[in-house]
Chain A
């Protein structure tokens, strides 16, 4: 059965099989009627809830609101972490100055900042964006710093003996060398950003996927909760795959 073997070897087929199995189990469980529909809605009910929210435009509006927060907060975090991480990775002085501080703050759970952020900035967009920033900036910075420390000494010294000065070396040697690790760092920490935006919206928001879930809870609409969770997962997966695609194209040399 070569066709079957080829199917099995395809990198996605097993993963797809796992997902389909869970879907099937879910469907069987609900169809058998052994679990209260209120606790476990059927796949069809979730699909219907999704369709309904899609036609009303609510789903798109919520998704865009969440995505926008994530992108603004994460762009700030990623944009600032890059120079700070590179500075810490190249200068022992800056590293010794900032590393203990960052190591400490990194272990403070970001959601614990929510009360403070609400006191300082109210319930607008700013506290949510800042939460994503706080929750990812320190991880981004420290991981970028580490990647800079792995730039081989020979590569920097070669550039110096070719007449390179500090800034051109940072731009032409350090930056390209760490690019794959930086993209991977962003990909990994993007997952926390995506988690945090939902947490922030659960606490206080007028729109967003997290907000929709907490509203659904109030009306015991588990089908909407399931729908929200699945959409959140799917968007996260898409972002992840996007990062991987960029990495494959831009950093072919590192594969």
Chain B
């Protein structure tokens, strides 16, 4: 699998109201990679994600998967939104099964895969509960299980832990990291939390606002055998500080 974002620009509105939100954004995601986009609010991160998902069309440039341009949403690109997007009338298990039912998979297979993916995200016991009976972290894990169960080639995560408090966030980061190691999924993560990006992603692209663009790309080759240790290790902290300084420099309010 090879996801290519080539020279993509996006303008919303027309004429005097036109607003360029993305300018010449290029990057790639390959099979098994974990890539993160970091940037302040309004730098166009979600727009990039929506373009890749096929929910919006680029104004210029191309987005392609294995050479085929993306024109519409499809189950080869699974998406997890920041806000809880579980169907409130369906139980956790029914939510996980939802995509597979849309795909028209055989009943037996749906049942087995639902059980499997609930197991993977550690929620086998919560199968029959409604979303409102689940904590925020559990809801996001169900949303991830639902996206994975539809067998996407790449998982798009738009600030999936943005609404969670800090302890839950850290355990969800551990969870996502383990999931990535176990299942070999390909993921594109959006976050405004630099630490989260550096912990999880092998490649981090830093975006700046007005218009949204990638200003720096870093490969993060750190020892990820223990995230808890990594969080406190020297190279990690140094890299984080260096990139944080970059990000601060982009903040117009603070630079002035």
Interface residue ranges, A against B (CB under 8 Å): 152, 154-155, 157-164, 168, 172-173, 176-177, 179, 251, 253-254
- Which B residue's beta carbon lies closest to that of A253? B89
Chain B residue at minimal CB-CB distance from A251 = B89
Q: Which residues of A contact B89 (CB under 8 A)?
A: 176-177, 179, 251, 253-254
User: Of A154, A159, A254, which is within 8 A of B83 by CB?
Assistant: A154
Known: A155-B87, A162-B150, A172-B98. 11 other contacts (CB 8 A): A159-B102, A161-B54, A161-B78, A161-B147, A163-B73, A163-B75, A172-B101, A177-B89, A179-B89, A251-B89, A254-B88
Number of A-B contacts defined by CB within 8 Å: 69
- Decide if B85 touches A163 in the complex (CB within 8 Å): no
B85-A162 in contact (CB<8A): no
Minimum CB–CB distance for A155 against chain B, Å: 6
Q: CB distance B81 to A158 under 8 Å?
A: yes
Interface size class of B (residues with CB under 8 A): 20 to 34
Whether B78 and A162, one on each chain, are in contact in the complex, defined by CB atoms closer than 8 angstroms, is: yes
Query: In the bound complex, do residue B85 and residue A158 qualify as a contact, i.e. CB atoms below 8 Å apart?
Result: yes
CA distance A176 to B90 in the complex (A): 10
CB contact list, B71-95 vs A, under 8 A: 73-75, 77-79, 81, 83, 85, 87-89
Per DSSP, are chain A's interface residues mostly helix, strand or loop, or mixed? Answer: helix
With contacts A152-B85, A253-B132 taken as known, whether A162 is within 8 angstroms of B99 at the C-beta atoms is: yes
In the complex, A254 Cα to B87 Cα: how many Å?
A: 11
Option from B77, B88, B102 in Cβ contact (under 8 Å) with A253? B88
Residue of B nearest to A173 (CB): B87
Tell me the minimal C-beta distance from A171 to chain B in angstroms. 10
Instruction: Give min CB distance, A154 to chain B, whole Å.
Output: 4
The verdict on A161 contacting B53 (CB below 8 Å), with A254-B88, A254-B89 known, is: yes
Tell me if A155 and B99 are in contact (CB < 8 A).
Answer: no
Chain B, residue nearest A164 (CB):
B102
B213, chain A: closest CB distance, angstroms: 25
B225 within 8 A of A: no
A172 proximity list for chain B (CB < 8 A): 98, 101-102
- Known A172-B102, A254-B89; judge A161-B75 contact (CB<8 A): yes
A246 to B150, CA, bound (A): 34
* B1 CB within 8 Å of chain A: no
For residue B103, CB closer than 8 A to chain A, the reply is yes
CA distance A176 to B91 in the complex (A): 13
Interface residue B168 (Cβ < 8 Å from any Cβ of A): no
